[in-house]
A and B are shown apart, each in its own frame.
Chain A
Amino acid sequence: MPLLEIENLSVDFETRAGGLFRAVDRVSLKVEPREIVSVVGESGSGKSVAMLAVMGLLPKTARVTADRLAFEGENLLGLTPAARRKLVGKDIAMIFQEPMSSLNPCFTVGFQIGEALATHLGMGRAARRARAIELLEQVGIPSPESRLSAFPHQLSGGMSQRVMIAMAIACSPKLLIADEPSTALDVTIQAQILDLLVRLRDEKDMALVLITHDMGVVAETAERVVVQYAGRQVEEATTVDLFRDPHHPYTAALLAALPERATEKRLPAIPGVVPGQWDRLEGCMFAPRCDFATPLCSTTRPSRAAPELGYALCHTPLVAGRPTERTARREELPA
Chain B
Amino acid sequence: MSDAATLPRAEAAVTPVIEAQDLVKTYEVGRGLFSPPGVVRAVSGISLSLAPRRTLAVVGESGSGKSTLGRMLALIEPPTGGHLAIDGVDVTGVDGARLKGLRRSVQMVFQNPYGSLNPRRTIRASLEEPLLVNTDLTPDQRHARAVDMLTRVGLRPEHAERYPHMFSGGQRQRIAIARALMLRPKIIVLDEPVSALDVSVRAQVLNLLADLQQEFDLAYVFVSHDLSVVRHIADEVMVMYLGGVVEQAPKEAIFADPRHPYTKALLSATPVADPGRKRDRIVLTGELPSPFAPPPGCVFHPRCPVAIDRCRVEKPVLAGDGTRLTACHLAP
Binding site for B on A (CB under 8 A): 42-43, 156, 158-159, 186-192, 194-195, 213-221, 239-240, 243, 253-255, 257-262, 265-271, 273-274, 276, 289
Contact = CB atoms under 8 A, between A and B. Distances in A.
A240 B276 CA distance: 7
A214 B271 CA distance: 8
B interface bracket (residues with beta carbon within 8 Å of A): 35 or more
Nearest to B285: A192
B203 A270 contact: yes
B207 A267 contact: yes
Contacts of A255: 273
Given A187-B269, A192-B283, A262-B232, A240 B198 contact: no
Interface string B262-301: 0001101111111111010101110100000000000000
A217 to B, nearest CB: 5
11 contacts: A188-B266, A192-B283, A213-B199, A220-B271, A220-B272, A240-B276, A255-B273, A259-B203, A267-B203, A267-B206, A289-B200
B228 interface: yes
B244 interface: no
Contact of A188 (B231, B265, B279): B265
A283 to B, nearest CB: 19
Nearest to A253: B200
B284 A188 contact: yes
Contact of A257 (B168, B170, B202, B287): B202
A188 B269 contact: yes
Given A216-B272, A220-B279, A156 B287 contact: yes
**A contacts with B: majority SS:** helix
Given A187-B270, A258-B228, A262-B232, A219 B200 contact: no
A305 B61 CA distance: 43
B265 to A, nearest CB: 6
Given A268-B203, A269-B203, 13 more contacts: A186-B62, A188-B265, A188-B266, A188-B269, A191-B268, A192-B283, A215-B273, A216-B273, A219-B272, A220-B272, A240-B276, A265-B210, A274-B198
A193 to B, nearest CB: 10
A189 B281 CA distance: 12
Nearest to B270: A187
A227 to B, nearest CB: 12
Contacts, number: 124
Interface of B: 61-62, 168, 170-171, 198-204, 206-207, 210, 225, 227-229, 231-233, 265-266, 268-277, 279, 281, 283-285, 287
B275 A240 contact: yes
Given A220-B275, A266-B207, A195 B200 contact: no
A260 B273 contact: yes
A95 to B, nearest CB: 18
B225 A258 contact: no
A220 B199 CA distance: 18
A194 B271 CA distance: 10
Nearest to B171: A273
A257 B269 contact: no
Contact of A259 (B200, B206, B274): B206
Contacts of B227: 187
Nearest to B195: A183
Nearest to A157: B62
Nearest to A217: B271
B162 to A, nearest CB: 15
Given A156-B287, A188-B61, A220-B279, A257 B200 contact: yes
Contacts of B204: 269-271
Nearest to B276: A240
Nearest to B59: A187
Contacts of A215: 199, 273
A259 B61 contact: no
A101 to B, nearest CB: 16
Contacts of B277: 219-220
B287 A189 contact: yes
Given A187-B61, A213-B199, A259 B269 contact: no
